[in-house]
Amino acid sequence: MNKTVSKVYIAGDHRGVGLKLYLIEMLTAAGYMVVNLGVDDPNVSADYPDVAQTLADAIGDDKNARGIAICGTGAGVMIAANRYRNLRASRCDRPEQARDDRFHDDINVLALAAADIDIEMAFLCVQTFLESPFDNIERRIRRIEKIS
C-alpha cells in the first residue's frame, strides 16, 4: 500500500457498478481509505460527464488523492475527466500502462473500461496506479503545468 495516497475516490456510471464494487472491496481490504462516489445501481442510468465532475469536485486540490473512473469503454470518463484542471486521467488496460502514465504524466485518475477488462486485471492496474511514483523532474513538471 502506498502511504502517500490520502484517499482513493471511485465513481462510475451504471455500466461500471459491478467492477466498482469489486474494486472498493479489494482496496478496502488492502488498507486504502476509499470513498464511493456512486452510482451503485446498474438499473439507474448515469452519465459519464457527471461521474468526472463528481471526481473533480471530490479530489479538489488534494495532491495526494487519487481517482478511479469507470464507464463501459473507459474513454468517456477519461475524456470528461481531462476537462478539469485538477484531473489528469488515462485509460489503462494493463499495469504497465498505469505505471508509465503515473511515471511520465503524473495521472491522478485511472479510467477503466468495465466492458473490456476482467476484474482481476482491473485490480492489477489499480494497484500499479496507486503504487507507482511520478518522475518528478523538471521537463515532466513543465509539461504538466502547461495543461494544469
Three-class DSSP labels, the chain:
CCCCCCCEEEEECHHHHHHHHHHHHHHHHCCCCEEECCCCCCCCCCCHHHHHHHHHHHHCCCCCCEEEEEECCCHHHHHHHCCCCCCCEEECCCHHHHHHHHHHHCCCEEEEECCCCCHHHHHHHHHHHHHCCCCCCHHHHHHHHHHC
Beta bridge partners of 8: 34, 66
pLDDT, residue 97, reads: 98
Which residue is catalytic, options 14, 71, 92, 125?
Answer: 71
Q: Over the stretch 79-135, which tens digit does the pLDDT of each residue have? A: 999 999 999 999 999 999 999 999 999 999 999 999 999 999 999 999 999 999 999
pLDDT, residue 11, reads: 98
DSSP state of 12: E
- Alpha-carbon span 34 to 140, nearest angstrom: 28
The pTM of this model reads 0.95
By the 8 A CB rule, do 113 and 71 touch? yes
Tell me the pLDDT band of 4, cut-offs 50, 70 and 90: confident
The yes-or-no answer on residue 71 being catalytic is yes
The yes-or-no answer on residue 14 being catalytic is no
